[in-house]
Amino acid sequence: MAHPSVLLFISSAFAILHAATAASSPVGVNWGSQTSHPLNPGIVVRLLKDNGISKVKLFDADSWTLSALRHTGMDVMVGIPNDQLYAMSSKYDNAKNWVRENVTRYVHDGSLTFRYVAVGNEPFLTSYNSSFLGTTLPALKNIQRALEESGLGDQIKVVVPLNADVYDSASGVPSGGLFRSNIRGLMADVVGFLRSKNSPFMVNIYPFLSLHDNKHFPVDFAFFDGTGQPIIDGGRRYTNVFDANFDTLVNALKKIGAGDMEIIVGEVGWPTEGADNANVASAERFYGGFLKKMAGNEGTPMRPGKMEVYLFGLIDEDMKSVLPGNFERHWGLFTYDGRPKLEMDLTGTGKSRGLTAAIGVEYQEAQWCVMRRG
């Protein structure tokens, strides 16, 4: 049965007032597009603005989406999917044309502000069976060269969003952090190139997956309310897995001579259904603690201070693969049609009125199929 006929409507006076007074969030969001019923990008952009979100990370360079973001003043991270890495790495002209079509033309007319170009998305995942190990760094270099030739090399930085499985700790504590043995040399080359261009390291950290993948994992250690048993590592005290994971990366970077490298968290979030511990209550508990931590600029034991992070994700994506688990389609802060799923304060201050629903969503008229007799 289709959804009931309804048109979401809020008076223009109230909408304008809310947009003008929406508190700014200290975090950005990932805007994915693997959905069977995509919202009009203009509606999504309004949703972002009404919720005080000024930084958005995209996984591609869809022209409809980029056009909707024009003249909004938002900081945009545009992405190159993994299936385009070979083209970008094998021929420089492909990278040059991509930058011209998806970055330069928007920058030169002053309509968009790009902060980063994300080259690939978790290309070194073990589940990819080394498919992108040979193309990621060459693609990264070609995109960087194209940005520099366009005069944007200092203004826009290249990054490679990497999953936290690129490093681990043999000792089980952050100080034992090392990059994965089969890619250690490649990671040193990638990090060396990024540092030479003053680009940050981007990592995706998911406390939910630490809990989901290990039935013996202490539940409270996935959250930020300090109720779990802490880990003590060389005098440093860890009360949650996010901090421990982040500092494991810091130590892995130190061991290849890049301990001072800037780190950005490209994805962090909690799903609302599809697995044990994937529910609204746990998501609200996670985000409540995490956003308070971000608002307080607490950082981690090895990196105290302000962090740049992007929540995953903005809207549920019902076309994502469920191979990792059914929860993959339920990471959104909002339903597919822009309704809030959680009671949460994106500012982390406790002063926000909560999430605001999308405005202007139209639904098809309700229809039913009736079986003929026989």
The residues that are catalytic are 122, 267
Query: Which token pair is 188?
Result: 């040193």
Query: Which token pair is 189?
Result: 């080359």
Q: Report the helix count and the strand count for the chain, using DSSP H and E.
A: 11, 13
Is the CB of residue 152 less than 8 Å from the CB of residue 103?
Answer: yes
* Exposure string over 234-266, b if 16+ CB within 10 A, otherwise e: eebebbbbbbbbbbbbbbbbeebebeebebbbb
Q: Classify burial at 345, counting beta carbons within 10 Å of its beta carbon; exposed 0-12, middle 13-18, buried 19 or more.
A: buried
Orientation angle between helical segments 92-99 and 136-149, nearest 10 degrees: 50
Q: Which H helix or E strand runs over 254?
A: helix 241-254
